């Protein structure tokens, strides 16, 4: 049975993540929001600290690199790397979403590697900072429509295509590229490849200017006859038509709870600051009185807190299920859909409650409202998550419910 309290073995780790969020991330939040595309040098020292914690066994997995299905060791109910990653991401995104996404060796590509790589690949790619490239100019929410090709040529695959909106695409060491082995075979032929940036044929075409998460670089990447070693294909190289998209979609089952956790952390930051501002303004929030008996501001705040808690619990459930080797595709999409939507709604409503204070750059509320929007979009939009949930609940295939 899932325990809704923070597991005892993770409490010290979560406290450390909160200190990191306060002393490193929140402290530099506005600086790198205003200096778009500037590399946050402070994160290098922070990454060294995180690496040291992991090597010493003190860390339980910080961010994306810690995400992997736990092995069935006979211990029964457990909390593992998925839960610790979600808990740490909530804390760091309470500090800053963009800087969390900029953490060296904590890219979404690292989560993709952890999700589907073989044990040998895990060791070979250990310590690598990997971004993830899925979206294309003509392929967004429908990942099955990928047109980037991978053609086998001896001991290598030749990759050709263009990828857009690649988070940390400029700063990372490698890019996990989704490509098709054979367009005629549809979803089943889509595989993911670890493509080191040092290889000839891969280049960063441009960096995007964005509404939020400005401290995180978002790149367009072009693959032009890029030759990738065959052993860099993640997981099983064979095309299994009966499994369809299952192999690469395991990535989303692990990364969607992480993105939901980002939204939960960002929304909590907005709620915490808004509570302080309301209290300073003399607004009383009373948990023992009915909402109808309180001021409009207090009632609105209580409703937002209820939505936030629902998103948090869905996120923890999805991570817990992954740690306990339970199918969590439905729960991962539910968490992403709920947290992505209410996270953005909460941050925008907090700006409204704070009035002119919320809209100005003297407060971080306006920044959190901008940052939160991407969390409702990437790793599958709100509409796609609702579609996935509907298919799972109704027992319909993608062909039966579009």
For residues 29 and 99, the answer to whether their CB atoms sit within 8 Å is: yes
In whole angstroms, give the CA distance from residue 380 to residue 141.
6
**What span, in angstroms and rounded, lies between the C-alpha atoms of 112 and 193?**
10
Whether 314 contacts 331, CB under 8 Å:
yes
Encoded tokens for 401: 């419910």
Q: Return the percent helix, strand and coil in the chain, to nearest 5.
A: 55, 15, 35
The span from the CA of 346 to the CA of 266, in Å, is 9
Separation CA 40–CA 199 (nearest Å): 25
Could you give the CA distance from residue 111 to residue 168 in angstroms, rounded to a whole number?
Answer: 14
Instruction: Kindly state the helix (H) or strand (E) to which residue 133 belongs, with its residue range.
Output: strand 130-133
Q: How far apart are the first and last CA of the chain?
A: 34
Tokens of 326: 């339970």
Q: Running DSSP on this structure, what letter comes out for residue 64?
A: G
Measured CA to CA, the distance from residue 346 to residue 332 in angstroms comes to: 21
Strand runs labelled E in 142-201 = 149-153, 156-167, 174-180, 190-196
d(CA 98, CA 212): 8
Q: Are 241 and 229 a contacting pair, CB within 8 Å?
A: no
Residue 361 is among the residues annotated as catalytic for this protein: no
Tell whether the torsion through CA atoms of 385, 10, 117 and 133 is positive or negative: positive
| d(C-alpha 349, C-alpha 392), whole Å | 31
Residue 163: CB atoms within 10 A of its CB come to: 27
Distance CA 251, CA 244 (A): 14
Location of structure tokens 């979609």: 249
Report d(CA 196, CA 198) in Å as an integer. 5
Q: Which of 91, 331, 366, 379 is catalytic?
A: 379
Question: Mind telling me the catalytic residues?
Answer: 379
């Amino acid at each position: 049975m899932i325990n809704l309290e923070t597991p005892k073995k993770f409490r010290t780790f979560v406290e450390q993540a909160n200190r990191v969020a306060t002393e490193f991330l929140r402290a530099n939040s506005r600086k790198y929001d205003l200096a778009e595309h500037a590399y946050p040098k402070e994160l290098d020292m922070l990454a060294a600290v995180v690496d040291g914690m992991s090597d010493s066994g003190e860390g339980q997995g910080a961010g994306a690199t810690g995400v992997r299905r736990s092995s069935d060791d006979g211990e029964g109910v457990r909390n593992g790397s998925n839960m610790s990653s979600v808990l740490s991401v909530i804390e760091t995104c309470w500090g800053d979403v963009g800087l969390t996404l900029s953490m060296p060796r904590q890219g979404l590509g690292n989560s993709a590697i952890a999700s589907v790589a073989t044990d040998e690949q895990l060791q070979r790619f250990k310590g690598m900072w990997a971004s993830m490239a899925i979206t294309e100019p003509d392929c967004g929410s429908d990942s099955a429509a990928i047109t980037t090709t991978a053609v086998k040529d001896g001991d290598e695959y030749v990759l050709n295509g263009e990828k857009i909106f690649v988070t940390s695409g400029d700063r990372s060491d490698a890019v996990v590229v989704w490509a098709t082995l054979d367009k005629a075979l549809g979803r089943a032929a889509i595989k993911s490849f670890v493509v080191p940036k040092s290889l000839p044929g891969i280049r960063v075409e441009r960096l995007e200017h964005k509404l939020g998460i400005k401290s995180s670089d978002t790149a367009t990447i072009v693959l032009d006859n890029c030759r990738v070693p065959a052993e860099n294909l993640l997981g099983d190289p064979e095309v299994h038509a009966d499994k369809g998209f299952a192999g690469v979609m395991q990535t989303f089952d692990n990364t969607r709870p992480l993105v939901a956790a980002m939204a939960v952390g960002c929304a909590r930051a907005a709620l915490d600051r808004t509570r302080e501002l309301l209290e300073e303004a003399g607004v009383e929030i009373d948990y023992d009185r009915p909402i109808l008996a309180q001021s409009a501001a207090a009632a609105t705040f209580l409703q937002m807190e209820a939505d936030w808690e629902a998103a948090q619990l869905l996120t923890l459930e999805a991570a817990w299920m992954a740690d306990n080797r339970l199918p969590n595709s439905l729960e991962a999409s539910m968490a992403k859909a709920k947290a992505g939507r209410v996270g953005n709604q909460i941050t925008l409503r907090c700006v409204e409650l704070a009035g002119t204070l919320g809209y100005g750059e003297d407060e971080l509320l306006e920044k959190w409202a901008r940052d939160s929007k991407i969390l409702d979009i990437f790793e599958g939009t709100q509409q796609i998550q609702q579609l996935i949930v509907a298919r799972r609940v109704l027992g319909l295939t993608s062909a039966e419910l579009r």
